[in-house]
């Protein structure tokens, strides 16, 4: 990836910012170019691979004989391969890329020690590649979300250590006393992840805990990865992008504080609700269900804060790609949390446990919430790294609608299918195969939704490729989704 060959252009200008400030931002953006683009490009490659795997996995579920005689391609290996490519390849790398850029911007200093990050991106890719190959070759550990064999996990952890130490170093160079709310979330994510990952690895592989506790540690890890790593990065990004695009400060700093601390406190206690009625002391599960209920506090405060910030500015979503994706992601955070709460209540869990509904929940979190927010951030950040604007508004629109309809349809299919599957399962007079029959049409519907998502990802990858090749538009105004009638949309900076 030869990012340095791309001509740097001063980023588009906001009327509010003074000349020095613009220059300063341009320098900062330029300093982040190589590492951030490295993470983004790798993430895009993993996204495409993960999408192809996803389609394969989805079709195989209702067409089980599809290429099933080759051990590498058996469903039980393709599924974790897809999951890990998406979680560690796409989502983590795109999240780190975004976080790097945000950190540099918010610390108001040019990026120091870029080699740390370049090395980290290299190691991270190597770790994911080895891990996925390990899974495909039959070396999976068998723990969900932690399938990577240990040789891959170690490399991933080394890569992470480089990113984490870079983040702490950057913080020492920051200018100004103010620590913006986005930095809280990012700092949280950067500090939580290594602890989480190390705890998961240690308690499962190095000094393994006994019996069912492995499952408890596994789901504790998975849920916290979702909330404290991906969730924190996405919320931090939304807190930056929404006010930035509409050119208006966050509605309430107090709400932001409450939202952050309640998020850190309560969402970290969730996870065990996924083991409802399993062989565990009941208090563990109840504690997590209670925590799920309490996560409604951060949901309400963060949601209210974003909503009040956006109040009166919603029409801007017509123009700004970033805003449209980010607001979709921020709204999905609420949906994700509410669905998560509903399916963890014992009376409902009875019907949705062990069904496709839990897949719907994971996709709501990782896709509708996290990925959509990160797409929004990429639409904002990439032009500032490359000095060109996105080439086609129509492609962005297509990307958005294919993604939005795709994930919406997928969630509906999996939730509805999951509920019916669970209801059948709770009716012991029905043969078990009937429950599978019930859910199959919904799985076909899910495959259809997957096709939409595949289209959207290929469109985005193509557009991103054009940008990398320097084929973006040369312009001083960002690419708007629709022609701007007035200068009301000038907040695109």
Q: Which of 96, 425, 453, 489 binds another protein (CB under 8 A)?
A: 425
Q: Which residues contact 104 (CB under 8 A, 6 or more apart)?
A: 28, 31, 32, 110, 111, 170
CB of 452 to another protein, least distance (A): 23
Question: What is the CB-side half-sphere exposure of residue 398 using CA atoms within 13 A?
Answer: 15
* Per-residue mark of binding to another protein, 319-348 (x: CB under 8 A): ---------------------------x--
Which residues 13-52 are close enough to bind another protein by CB under 8 A?
A: none
Q: Is the CB of 23 or the CB of 137 nearer to another protein? A: 137
What's the CA gap between 404 and 295, in Å, rounded? Answer: 25
162: contact with another protein by CB under 8 A:
no
Q: How far is the CB of 323 from another protein (least distance, A)?
A: 26
Q: Does 258 bind another protein (CB under 8 A)?
A: no
171 is an interface residue for another protein by CB under 8 A: yes
If one asks whether residue 126 binds another protein (CB under 8 A), the answer comes out as no
For residue 71, the tally of other CB atoms under 10 A from its CB is 11
Question: Rounded to the nearest whole angstrom, what is the least distance from the CB of residue 147 to another protein in the complex?
Answer: 9
Does 62 help bind another protein (rule: CB under 8 A)? yes
Binding-site string for another protein from residue 426 to residue 465, where x marks contact by CB under 8 A and - marks none = xxxxxxxxxxxx-xx-------------------------
Cβ proximity of 302 and 247 under 8 Å: no
**Residues numbered 175-234 forming contacts with another protein, rule: CB under 8 A:** 177-179, 184, 187-188, 191-192, 195-196, 199, 203-204, 208-217, 220, 224, 228
151 binds another protein (CB under 8 A): no
Least distance to another protein from the beta carbon of 334, Å? 22
For position 140 contacting another protein by CB under 8 A, the verdict is yes
Q: Which of 112, 307, 350, 473 is close enough to bind another protein by CB under 8 A?
A: 350
Between 8 and 73, whose beta carbon lies closer to another protein? Answer: 73
Given 3, 24, 52, 139, the residue binding another protein (CB under 8 A): 139
Question: In angstroms, what is the minimal distance from the CB of 175 to another protein?
Answer: 14
Instruction: Please state the closest distance from residue 60 (CB atom) to another protein, in A.
Output: 7
Residue 300 CB coordination number (10 Å): 16
For 263, residues 6+ apart whose C-beta sits below 8 A from its C-beta are: 227, 231, 232, 235, 295, 298, 302
Site for another protein in 264-283 (CB under 8 A): 264-265, 268-269, 271-272, 274-275, 277-281
Cβ closest to another protein, residue 142 vs residue 465: 142
Residues 356-385 that bind another protein (CB under 8 A): 356, 358-359
Of 19, 69, 206, 486, which one interacts with another protein (CB under 8 A)?
A: 69
61 binds another protein (CB under 8 A): yes
In the complex, the smallest distance separating the C-beta of residue 263 from another protein, rounded to whole angstroms, is 9
Q: Does 108 bind another protein (CB under 8 A)?
A: no
60 binding another protein? (CB under 8 A): yes
Region from 26-34, 38-46, 284-292, 464-472 binding another protein, contact rule CB under 8 A: 284-292
């Amino acid at each position: 990836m030869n990012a340095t060959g791309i001509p740097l252009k001063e980023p588009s200008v906001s009327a509010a910012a003074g000349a020095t400030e613009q220059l300063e931002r341009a320098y900062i953006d330029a300093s982040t170019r190589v590492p951030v683009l490295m993470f983004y490009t790798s993430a895009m490659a993993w996204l495409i691979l993960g999408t192809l795997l996803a389609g394969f996995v989805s079709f195989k579920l209702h067409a089980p004989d599809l290429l099933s005689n080759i051990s590498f391609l058996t469903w039980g290996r393709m599924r974790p391969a897809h999951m890990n490519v998406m979680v560690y390849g796409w989502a983590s790398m795109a999240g780190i890329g975004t976080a790097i850029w945000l950190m540099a911007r918010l610390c108001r200093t040019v990026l120091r020690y870029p080699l740390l990050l370049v090395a980290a991106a290299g190691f991270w890719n190597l770790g994911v590649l080895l891990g996925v190959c390990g899974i495909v070759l039959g070396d999976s550990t068998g723990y969900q979300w932690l399938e990577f064999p240990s040789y891959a996990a170690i490399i991933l952890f080394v890569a992470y250590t480089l990113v984490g130490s870079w983040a702490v170093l950057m913080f020492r160079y920051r200018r100004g006393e103010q620590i913006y709310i986005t930095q809280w979330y990012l700092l949280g994510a950067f500090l939580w992840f290594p602890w989480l990952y190390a705890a998961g690895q240690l308690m499962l592989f190095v000094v393994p805990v006994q019996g069912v506790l492995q499952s408890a540690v596994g789901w504790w890890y998975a849920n916290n990865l979702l909330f404290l790593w991906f969730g924190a990065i996405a919320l931090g990004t939304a807190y930056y992008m929404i006010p930035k695009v509409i050119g208006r400060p966050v509605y309430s700093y107090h709400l932001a504080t409450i939202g952050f601390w309640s998020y850190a406190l309560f969402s970290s206690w969730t996870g065990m609700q996924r083991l409802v009625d399993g062989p565990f002391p009941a208090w563990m599960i109840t504690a997590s269900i209670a925590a799920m209920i309490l996560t409604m506090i951060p949901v309400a405060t963060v949601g209210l804060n974003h909503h009040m910030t956006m109040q009166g500015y919603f029409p801007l979503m017509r123009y700004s790609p970033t805003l449209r994706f980010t607001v979709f992601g921020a709204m999905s955070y609420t949906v994700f949390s509410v669905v998560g709460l509903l399916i963890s209540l014992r009376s409902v869990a009875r019907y949705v446990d062990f069904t496709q509904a839990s897949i719907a929940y994971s996709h709501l979190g990782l896709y509708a919430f996290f990925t959509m927010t990160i797409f929004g951030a990429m639409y904002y950040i990439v032009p500032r790294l490359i000095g060109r604007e996105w080439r086609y508004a129509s492609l962005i629109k297509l990307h958005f609608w294919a993604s939005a309809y795709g994930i919406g349809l997928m969630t509906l299919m999996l939730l509805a299918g999951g509920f019916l599957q669970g209801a059948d399962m709770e009716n012991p007079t029905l043969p078990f195969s009937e429950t599978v029959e019930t859910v199959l049409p919904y799985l076909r519907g899910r495959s259809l939704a997957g096709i939409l998502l595949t289209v959207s990802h290929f469109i985005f990858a193509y557009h991103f490729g054009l940008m990398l090749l320097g084929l973006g538009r040369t312009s001083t105004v960002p690419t708007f989704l629709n022609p701007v009638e007035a200068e009301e949309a000038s907040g695109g900076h």
